[in-house]
């Protein structure tokens, strides 16, 4: 899925911990082969190439997932819409990037949207209604994979775990009996710098911003997040972090609320008790932070971060060596 999965697991012994990690990696590889739109042989890739009007019968797993995706498309008023393939192509987001002409953008927008697909629940069939329409897994694939990984971990003897999938985190149990894993939320424009910390236990945290991935054309930079309603990149106003028990929900909503913008994102989140939302708006110095009530109970004081969501989670080689030495000392 174009990113790295890092797993930290606690189990009754090292052998079972390593076995759990291997099962997680195997399950995520399986989901990548099912959902990736970077490969032609995936199930989602075959749907995206299905002849217009012909029924495509996905597996029950994929059909159920896409029905969930459709529900969130409706619930967010189209702010979340993964069927933006023509727009991805128009902006060349998988290449060097380009600014499309108004006519090209209008044509791509007309071919985009989940309403370019027909879902038939009784027949478990999906029909593509436009020859250019295709679904991008970028806003829900990692969440689906982390949800599957959580199921694998809970089936074993794992006491606690922290999975970092390219900045989206899944936390089970706690780190050292202290009530949860303390993780840092990255500064929206300085990705290696923490801006806030939250405590996670049996939850997933996903962050969306324009500074995480971008392309540059003629010296001007624009982010990878597109507004499905306008077809244009979302302005780089800050970031949204969503914490939810279901990793799929966290992944989807962090994208949708970023598209909505800070004011509408908070208005949408204030009515929800099941998801926690943190909005960071770019400002000189520290970003301006706002959250709903569900997030207020998870925020902790700033301090040394153990993991970062929405930032670069890579560790320098020297730090890796030190971490291995600590782990050996504890064995």
- Interval 131-147: pLDDT, tens: 999 999 988 999 999 99
Q: What is the DSSP string of 84-131?
A: -HHHHHHHTTTTT-----HHHHHHHHHT-SGGGEEEETTTTEEEE-ST
Answer CATH for 5-9+160-330 from 3.60.10.10, 3.10.520.10, 1.10.760.10, 3.40.50.300: 3.10.520.10
CA distance 24 to 32: 12
Residue 320 reports pLDDT greater than 50: no
Residues of 226-249 as b/e, b for ≥16 C-beta within 10 angstroms?
bbbeebebbebbbbbbbbbebbbb
- For 308-319, what is the mean pLDDT? 43
Check: CB of residue 277 under 8 Å from CB of residue 291.
yes
- Helix, strand, coil share of the chain (percent; to 5): 35, 25, 40
Coil vs helix vs strand at 32: helix
CATH for the stretch 33-138: 1.10.3980.10
- Interval 160-188: pLDDT, tens: 999 999 889 999 998 766 788 999 998 88
Residue 234 reports pLDDT greater than 80: yes
What is the pLDDT confidence band of residue 282, given thresholds at 50, 70 and 90? confident
Coil vs helix vs strand at 309: strand
CA distance 170 to 153: 11
Query: What share of the chain in percent tops pLDDT 70?
Result: 86
Closest CA to 292 of 322, 272, 316: 272
Range(s) for CATH 1.10.3980.10 in the chain? Answer: 33-138
Residue 192 reports pLDDT greater than 60: yes
Range from 36-40, 302-306, 310-314 that averages highest in pLDDT? 36-40
What is the pLDDT confidence band of residue 302, given thresholds at 50, 70 and 90? very low
Range(s) for CATH 3.10.520.10 in the chain? Answer: 5-9+160-330
């Amino acid at each position: 899925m174009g990113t790295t999965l890092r797993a930290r697991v606690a189990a009754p012994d090292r052998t079972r911990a390593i076995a759990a990690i291997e099962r997680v990696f195997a399950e995520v590889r399986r989901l990548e082969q099912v959902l990736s739109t970077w490969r032609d042989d995936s199930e989602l890739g075959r749907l995206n190439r299905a002849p217009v009007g012909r029924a495509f019968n996905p597996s029950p797993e994929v059909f159920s997932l896409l029905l969930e995706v459709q529900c969130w498309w409706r619930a967010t008023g189209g702010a979340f819409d993964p069927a933006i393939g023509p727009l991805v192509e128009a902006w060349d987001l998988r290449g060097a990037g380009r600014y499309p002409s108004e006519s090209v953008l209008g044509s791509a927008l007309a071919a985009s949207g989940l309403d370019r697909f027909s879902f038939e629940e009784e027949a478990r069939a999906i029909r593509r209604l436009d020859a250019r329409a295709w679904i991008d897994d970028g806003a829900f694939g990692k969440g689906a994979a982390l949800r599957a990984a959580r199921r694998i971990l809970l089936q074993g003897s794992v006491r606690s775990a922290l999975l970092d999938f390219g900045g989206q985190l899944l936390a089970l149990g706690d780190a050292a009996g202290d009530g949860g894993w303390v993780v840092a939320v990255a500064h929206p424009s300085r990705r290696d710098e923490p801006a806030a910390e939250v405590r996670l236990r049996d939850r997933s945290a996903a962050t969306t911003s324009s500074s995480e991935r971008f392309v540059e054309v003629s010296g001007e930079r624009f982010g990878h997040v597109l507004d499905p309603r306008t077809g244009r990149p979302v302005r780089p106003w800050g970031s949204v972090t969503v914490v939810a028990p279901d990793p799929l929900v966290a992944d989807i909503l962090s994208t949708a609320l970023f598209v909505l913008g800070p004011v509408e994102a908070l208005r949408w989140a204030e009515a929800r008790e099941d998801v926690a939302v943190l909005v960071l708006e770019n400002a000189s110095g520290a970003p301006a932070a706002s959250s709903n009530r569900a997030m207020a109970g998870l925020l902790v004081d700033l301090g040394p971060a153990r993991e970062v969501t929405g930032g670069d989670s890579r560790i320098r080689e020297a730090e890796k060596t030190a971490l291995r030495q600590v782990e050996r000392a504890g064995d």
